[in-house]
Structure 1
Amino acid sequence: MTSHDISRRTAVTAAATVTAAALLPLSAASAEGSGASSGPAFLHGVASGDPLPDGILLWTRVTPTPDAVPGSGRGGAVEVGWQVAEDADFARVVAHGTATATAAADHTVKADVRGLRPATGYFFRFTVARGNDAVHSPTGRTRTAPAHDAATAGLRFGVVSCANWESGWFSAYRHLAARRDLDAVFHLGDYIYEYKSGEYPALKYGVRKHSPEHEIITLADYRTRHGTYKTDPDLQAVHHAHPFVAIWDDHEFANDSWSGGAENHTPGVEGDWADRMAAAKQAYFEWMPVRPSIEGTTYRRLRFGKLADLHLMDLRSFRSQQVKAGNGSVDDPDRTITGRAQLDWLKEGLSASDTTWRLVGNSVMISPFAFGALPAHILEPLTKLLGLPAGGIAAETDDWDGYTHDRRELLGHLSDHAIRNTVFLTGDIHMAWANDVPLEAATYPHSPSVAAEFVVTSVTADNLDDTLHVPQHTVSLAAVAAVRAANRHAKWIDMDAHGYGVLDVTAERAQMDYYALSDKKDPKATASWARSYRTLSGSQRVERVNAPVK
């Protein structure tokens, strides 16, 4: 290994001595102090994403003048240069180019860089002219994917979901940013939340206010909300440190969204749903380091050598409207969560895969979720948290439970074609789960498991203890016991913790290490290892492990 390579397994302390100065997060306040008042400036950091063996997508946003804030439509065009280098001092630049930041794209800029080496760490930055001087963005680190046919020994990914600005501080991102052993960070949805300030959670329980303070509906609203999130120093830090691979869930649009509407959208009051969804998607692709793919959605496929491919889902753009739990329509073959084209695409991709592992970026839980007997004081807030009716509950119908025909077809495809080593990586539910994915839940464990599922908890969005306003792991213990008794495929559930996961993949196993924050309302929260589960190659089942991967 040459001195300028960034090793995937480099120790944190060693890496920090080389890159700390280049990777310090740039908050809005520090950027303004460095001359943003005269513009142009990089107030929202930099990011990279969707790594390929020969390329990476780079992102930034330029504030050309102080009044050209996100969503304002103000500010003229600005020419932006970008550089990719082998070293933090940019003495060995390997790729460079220019792009133009305009109000039409909210002054966001993307550069889809190609011609890079596989499985290699790089530094990148953006530059704009200010008079006779050059203004540089913060420096970011990124990494390309292994070559298509590389016999990759191991991969390691951060895994996160559900980061509500008002609910807490983004300490989980800070802890992932400090690691130097990640190939990428997977964000499984709910990167932003659409609610008005004080609606979720109630104002007295929040740590800060959204901007804009009203519920976001228009293109300007969604741009402003994305811009607000990207002033967070911990969010900037994780983007500066690692490439992202992201999909959306409902809150990038509105709560419990489907192809024709959402629970949190009132036609005639909040306008046309198609217009709102189009605005949300436009802002998302402007502000996220994501390549739009088929039909302008987030479903797409990435490959990491011969070890793993990643099938990324869009479970909002094509789905049928949710029905109430206990409604037999959940089994209707005409209802879909994926849409026909996407389900066929996924099935074909899983069948054609020649990698050891098939990872599926899946925004809502695919494993069945039935409630056991719970006392009313637990059942009522739990169902409220999950958006379910208080009585007659048999399924979480915003998940795959509400679209059982699609699930049976997909799981039957895995079984019928003997497709092994499929791992669903899931967010959304604000809880941590480790699940076998049974072909027939009613007869499990006598019927086979056809995949494994690792569900990560929220970064900050409210869990059961937050909803009840009780200490962690007190009241929820009874709920966990009842849910596990009714769901024998669920090997572990944590309804209270906030944090992140680290997925480590080798030819022998895929292991998820779950990390929990000490307090989401403490901006200096610590993180500690909570549990680990793995699925061994060929097993299609999860098992507990007594230590995280080092």
Structure 2
Amino acid sequence: MTSLSRRELFSAGVFVVAGAAAATVGGEPAQAAAPKGALPGTTFAHGVASGDPLPDGILLWTRVTPVKTAVPGSGLGADVSVTWELAEDSGFRRVAAKGTVVTGAARDHTVKVAPSGLRAGTAYWYRFSSGGVTSPVGRTKTAPAAGEALDRLRLGVVSCANLQAGYFTAYRHLADRGDLDVVLHLGDYLYEYGVGEYQARDVVVRPHDPTTEMTTLEHYRRRHAQYKTDVDLQALHAVVPFIVTWDDHESANDAWSGGAENHTEGSEGTWNVRKAASKQAYAEWMPVRYDAGGQLYRRFSFGDLASVSMLDLRSYRSQQASTIVSPEISSPERTLTGAAQMNWLLDGLTQASTQWKLIGNPVMIAPVRFPSTLSTAEIGGVQTLLGSTTIDGVPYNVDQWDGYTADRSRVISHLRDNAITDAVFLTGDIHSGWACDVPADPLTYPSTGTSVAAELVCTSVTSDNLDDILGVPPRSGSIAVEDAFKAANPHVKYLDFDSHGFSVLEVTPAAVRMDWYVLSDRTSPTSTSSRSVSYQVAAGTHKVTALA
């Protein structure tokens, strides 16, 4: 798939960040000057975005503020008409689709449209207008035609962006590349915590709005709106389509179908009401083909090269296990995916018409044993990082697939028994970088066991890593912990517990390659980035190997 250069993007008038920050007015993204007759206060302060590319369609998103009082979550402001245009050129001389929709306070004045009948593998430019004011211009691209021979696909891969813990310069560096076909966001697009509850080594870099933990629809809307005013996030949304899924912090920490670790019934209302509020705000504010109460898991294909199956591992899961010595943790009655999603995943792996089967996987599937050599402080730090707990005296991460071994066994057995090749799990959640084989039997791997898939885990954009939790310099005390984990888990080939940043995944018929990029300082709006390491999965091998 071809991409535009950064110079071409600038000449096209696409809204991107130049250097450390975009043009701003009073700290907000710059808006087109309102012409005479425009509604007072009309802005597109939250940028534009696109997502979920199909060969013949794309989803477009924005939010209009029709009057100054119609701030996100307020419930204020009348219904207004918003016109949208999609063109094959940046000057909008060849308009491919256009229309008018009505939005209002019932959907927090957000706008989502899904033009269809478009040309496959084609770049498009889009914009919105309302009340005489025009939004920034965005650029997007449809997916290649089904079955089309494709020699390359390049994806940005990100997870865990906590605004209180730093600046989103990782997004700026991705936007500056100009060579991405899509961005995969694997969850924790935002965080639910109030000010002072979770930040950068206990320093609040940028305070959340609202200042309290988000539990109501107003809270979730305001928090989504705050994140969408970040200039680096706006820049990335404006130049490449996203494919997203949620993890837990879009609602509450360690969420499951009937509750969450970070939810108290009574004082914070009922879980079902809070969950519904988080899902409604997500449906309104994210460029995703999802309506509140609907199905988030979905699949995309890119020619004959790759499919991307995005999982929802929060809506249907059983409560996390409380013991590992009883049958609870391996009980087939407990589920991570839910029955319908599991069948959909397995069928998709078997019936895929693409070479590579990529799985957008919010929590880690490769098994992880805690080393017995760690100190109490190291165990506590890793538990905090991974969201794990000590059960029956044994550190264990029951929030990952490790806590739902019956479901994991179904996936692994399906891959092995059907001789499915070139399956790669792309994972976020745990604020660290990993490259792993996924063994059919971890107890005999690698001496006699086989690997059925590979897993590549991106680190956090800003959320705390192990060095932050332990309060030690980066790449110091964590190195011994990493070595101990790799020794205890021979299928883990790469592990970085310290870095913040992003990953870039390149898919070709020969291999899937992930490059990890690390930030020099997540708390600086001018942070630089550099490539740390690269690992690949060669076609047909199911194994990760290091690259120079």
The TM-score, its normalising length taken from structure 1, stands at 0.94
The question of whether the paired residues in 2 share the 8 Å contact of 1:23 and 1:139 is answered with: no
Cα distance in 1 for residues equivalent to 2:194 and 2:212: 4
- Which residue is 1:409 aligned to? 410
How far does residue 125 in structure 1 lie from its aligned partner after superposition? 0.5
How far does residue 403 in structure 1 lie from its aligned partner after superposition? 0.1
The question of whether the paired residues in 2 share the 8 Å contact of 1:26 and 1:45 is answered with: no
> Match of 2:342, SS?
helix
The question of whether the paired residues in 1 share the 8 Å contact of 2:389 and 2:396 is answered with: no
- Listed one character per residue, the Cα deviations across residues 498-548 of structure 1 (whole Å, up to 9, x for unaligned) are 0111110011111111111111001000110011111011101010111xx
- Which residue is 2:203 aligned to? 205
RMSD: 1.8
- Listed one character per residue, the Cα deviations across residues 62-119 of structure 1 (whole Å, up to 9, x for unaligned) are 0011111110000001100111112222122111111111100000001101121111
- Which residue is 1:531 aligned to? 533
Report the AA paired with residue 343 of structure 2.
D
How far does residue 34 in structure 1 lie from its aligned partner after superposition? 4.6
Cα distance in 2 for residues equivalent to 1:171 and 1:276: 31
Aligned length, in residue pairs: 535
> Match of 1:493, SS?
strand
> Match of 2:257, SS?
coil
The question of whether the paired residues in 2 share the 8 Å contact of 1:48 and 1:57 is answered with: yes
> Match of 2:84, SS?
strand
Cα distance in 1 for residues equivalent to 2:235 and 2:347: 37
Moved more, 380-389 or 139-148: 380-389
- Which residue is 2:511 aligned to? 509
Cα distance in 1 for residues equivalent to 2:322 and 2:471: 27
- Which residue is 1:18 aligned to? 11
- Which residue is 1:179 aligned to? 177
The question of whether the paired residues in 2 share the 8 Å contact of 1:108 and 1:287 is answered with: yes
How far does residue 17 in structure 1 lie from its aligned partner after superposition? 4.7
The structure-2 alpha-carbon separation of the partners of 1:302 and 1:33, relative to structure 1 and needing over 3 Å to count, comes to closer
Cα distance in 2 for residues equivalent to 1:69 and 1:32: 16
The structure-2 alpha-carbon separation of the partners of 1:327 and 1:487, relative to structure 1 and needing over 3 Å to count, comes to same
How far does residue 158 in structure 1 lie from its aligned partner after superposition? 0.3
Q: How does 1:294-309 map to 2 (within 5 A)?
A: 296-309=294-307
Cα distance in 1 for residues equivalent to 2:200 and 2:430: 19
Gaps of 5+ in 2: none
The question of whether the paired residues in 1 share the 8 Å contact of 2:45 and 2:63 is answered with: yes
Moved more, 393-402 or 252-261: 393-402
- Listed one character per residue, the Cα deviations across residues 230-267 of structure 1 (whole Å, up to 9, x for unaligned) are 01000100000110000000000100000000000011
Cα distance in 2 for residues equivalent to 1:246 and 1:15: 26
The structure-2 alpha-carbon separation of the partners of 1:19 and 1:468, relative to structure 1 and needing over 3 Å to count, comes to farther
Cα distance in 2 for residues equivalent to 1:304 and 1:26: 35
- Listed one character per residue, the Cα deviations across residues 446-494 of structure 1 (whole Å, up to 9, x for unaligned) are 2110001000000001111111222111010011011111111000000
Q: How does 1:61-140 map to 2 (within 5 A)?
A: 61-129=63-131, 134-140=132-138
The structure-2 alpha-carbon separation of the partners of 1:381 and 1:203, relative to structure 1 and needing over 3 Å to count, comes to closer
The question of whether the paired residues in 1 share the 8 Å contact of 2:283 and 2:292 is answered with: no
> Match of 2:114, SS?
strand
The structure-2 alpha-carbon separation of the partners of 1:111 and 1:33, relative to structure 1 and needing over 3 Å to count, comes to closer
The question of whether the paired residues in 1 share the 8 Å contact of 2:346 and 2:411 is answered with: yes
Cα distance in 2 for residues equivalent to 1:506 and 1:203: 39
Cα distance in 2 for residues equivalent to 1:335 and 1:409: 13
Moved more, 35-44 or 397-406: 35-44
Report the AA paired with residue 231 of structure 2.
P
The structure-2 alpha-carbon separation of the partners of 1:125 and 1:17, relative to structure 1 and needing over 3 Å to count, comes to closer
Cα distance in 1 for residues equivalent to 2:69 and 2:156: 36
Report the AA paired with residue 387 of structure 1.
G
The structure-2 alpha-carbon separation of the partners of 1:419 and 1:381, relative to structure 1 and needing over 3 Å to count, comes to same
- Which residue is 1:387 aligned to? 387
The structure-2 alpha-carbon separation of the partners of 1:252 and 1:21, relative to structure 1 and needing over 3 Å to count, comes to closer
Does residue 326 (structure 1) correspond to residue 324 (structure 2)? The answer is yes
The question of whether the paired residues in 1 share the 8 Å contact of 2:15 and 2:235 is answered with: no
Cα distance in 1 for residues equivalent to 2:456 and 2:240: 21
- Which residue is 2:437 aligned to? 436
Cα distance in 2 for residues equivalent to 1:333 and 1:405: 5
> Match of 1:278, SS?
helix
Q: How does 1:22-37 map to 2 (within 5 A)?
A: 22-24=15-17, 25=22, 29-31=28-30, 34=33
Cα distance in 2 for residues equivalent to 1:368 and 1:56: 36
The question of whether the paired residues in 2 share the 8 Å contact of 1:307 and 1:507 is answered with: yes
Cα distance in 2 for residues equivalent to 1:43 and 1:231: 7
- Which residue is 2:139 aligned to? 141
- Which residue is 1:3 aligned to? none
Pick the aligned partner of 2:500 from 481, 498, 501.
498
> Match of 2:12, SS?
helix
Report the AA paired with residue 324 of structure 2.
G
The question of whether the paired residues in 1 share the 8 Å contact of 2:29 and 2:231 is answered with: no
The structure-2 alpha-carbon separation of the partners of 1:473 and 1:452, relative to structure 1 and needing over 3 Å to count, comes to same
> Match of 2:199, SS?
coil
Q: How does 1:249-268 map to 2 (within 5 A)?
A: 249-268=247-266
Report the AA paired with residue 306 of structure 1.
D
Cα distance in 1 for residues equivalent to 2:435 and 2:263: 33
State the identity %. 52
Cα distance in 1 for residues equivalent to 2:202 and 2:379: 24
Cα distance in 2 for residues equivalent to 1:349 and 1:200: 38
- Which residue is 1:42 aligned to? 44
